[in-house]
Structure 1
């Protein structure tokens, strides 16, 4: 069952290691025509400053035709683009995926009708990638 917070975040469990889930997420986004722009390894960055962090990766991906429409509506939406999914290990060793909802994005930036619709379509795509990443 998804966990959605007032901050517009959805968190869902996924089987497998963080790296395996990241691989499935990347494949799903790429297959759908999105560009995987980066995978930020927060755990490795923590280690560089002699700190510990359970496995935590931030996957950034986008599709310019979608993001540009949002920025044409409200340029400030660019601060929340490209799309992101955080893949992380919780305190029980389980892998979780977290992403922002389209409604949150639309409300945060005051998107008009077409922008709101595009934000919801973007969330639908992210939700599909997450669903595929949750399949072992």
Structure 2
């Protein structure tokens, strides 16, 4: 599937999973920022694309990227497959569509595992991201 295709109005891209959040943008961001340290992860950055657009005199719906991870989990992956550093630390896109629905999108760990030929014994290092996302949006 190309990035221009849509399923039920939702943009799609290979390897990307999007989940509906029952919360507002701010509440979803708050929940993730609170839950990341509780899973022994570090929040490295929060990029507010919509705020940067406003500073440039442009308008866009709320769009935020959280960059998070764990050097303890990520380093063995990068030693095994250096190119995975292009996708690490992990990223989470929290965005609002034209109907004000909030979405949480991320790269599927199974896709990353296949893309970078991650050995079975190291898949657990990225597989927990899906559980974190599910737990947080169901909070």
Q: Same fold (TM over 0.5)?
A: yes
Kept after mapping to 1: 8 A contact 2:108/2:130: no
CA distance in 1, matches of 2:113, 2:135: 25
Structure 2 residue runs without a partner (length 5+): 1-9
Equivalent residue number for residue 127 of structure 1:
130
| Greater helix content | 1
1:55 CA displacement = 0.5
TM-score by length of 2: 0.84
CA distance in 2, matches of 1:91, 1:52: 13
Match of 1:38, SS state, is: strand
Structure 1 residue runs without a partner (length 5+): none
Instruction: Compute the RMSD of aligned alpha carbons.
Output: 2.0
Counterpart selection for 2:104 from 83, 92, 97:
97
Count of residues paired in the alignment: 130
After the TM superposition, list the runs of 4 or more consecutive aligned residues in structure 1 that deviate by more than 4 angstroms.
Answer: none
TM-score by length of 1: 0.86
Equivalent residue number for residue 64 of structure 1:
71
CA distance in 1, matches of 2:17, 2:75: 24
Match of 1:76, SS state, is: helix
